[in-house]
Structures are given as C-alpha cells and as structure tokens.
Amino acid sequence: MFQTARIDKADKTEFYRQLTQQLTGLLHGERDVIANAANTSALMFEMMPDLNWAGFYFLKSTDELVLGPFQGRTACVRIAVGRGVCGTAVEKGQSILVEDVHAFPGHIACDAASRSELVVPLSHKGEILGVIDLDSPIPSRFDADDQAGIEALADIFVAASY
C-alpha cells in the first residue's frame, strides 16, 4: 500500500523532487489512465499548499476537453479548445501560468474563489491528450518552479498511463 510522506515546502526544488518520487511510486505498475489521474490529482491536492482545485481535463475530440478526475469543488464539464486557460494551453501546446485569472481574457470561472491558475498539457508522441489544471484562491500562487515541477509530474503521469 502506498503511503504519502510529508514534504517540507520551504525549498520548491526539493519539494518537487520529492513529489515526483512519490508520484513515481504511487503510479508504479498501474496503467489505467483514470486510476492514475485520480491518484495524481489526489496527491497534488494533498501535498501542494494553497490549492482549491487540482485535476485533469482530457481531449475527447479535436475541439473539446472533458472533465477527468479531480479534487476540489464541482467543475465545468466541457471546455472548447481555445477557450479559457485549459483550452488555450491545448491550442498553443504549452503550459500557461496565470497570476491573476481576472486579467486572463476569456477565463472560465468554475469556482469564483480561484485567483491564479497553472495549466500543463499532457503530451505523448507529439499529441496533446489533455491537461493538468491547478487553481488557487491566492493571486500569483504559481511561479516558474511550480510550472517546471508540474510539467515533471505530467511526464510521469503520461509515461505510466500511455
């Protein structure tokens, strides 16, 4: 049975090093994408401070993301590619870090308490499969260290699941 271990959050580089180790152990030997997404979102939500939402949207067609496993309040089920932070990340094929969601044109407010957001695409063999989406009620909660750390978690998730 997997047991999470507390991680000191003072040093982000070390925090993400340990978090990637825990995710690698958690997903080891499991290939089911839904099970892995559920456990990945639970681990991020449990271990990362100041989140109000952590989860997945999966690309179900060329033009639409559909809600996957997550932790937090109820969420928008479908997001068009090119719309909101998640849809824009898919359209551009790159991570998007938003310090203030109210300043992001077309932001989709599933939870009015969200103030900042980080979205990281899931990519396999050059194809976008979906995104990891993190929301926080704290403005400017995410930075380049968080982006690099979540991109590493996305790589671990994809390698285990696809």
Helix (H, G, I), strand (E, B) or coil at 131: strand
Q: Find all residues with CB under 8 Å of 120, minimum gap 6, and list them.
A: 89, 95, 131, 132, 147, 150, 151, 153, 154
The domain segmentation of the chain, as residue ranges, is 12-161
From the centroid of its chain, how far is CA 32? 18
What is the pLDDT tens value at each position of the chain, 162 positions in all?
677 878 877 899 999 999 999 999 999 999 999 999 999 999 999 999 999 999 999 999 999 999 999 999 999 999 999 999 999 999 999 999 999 998 887 777 777 789 999 999 999 999 999 999 999 999 999 999 999 999 999 999 999 999
Positive or negative: CA dihedral 66, 52, 41, 119: positive
Alpha-carbon distance 26 to 39, whole Å?
A: 8
- Fold classified for 12-161: Beta-Lactamase (3.30.450)
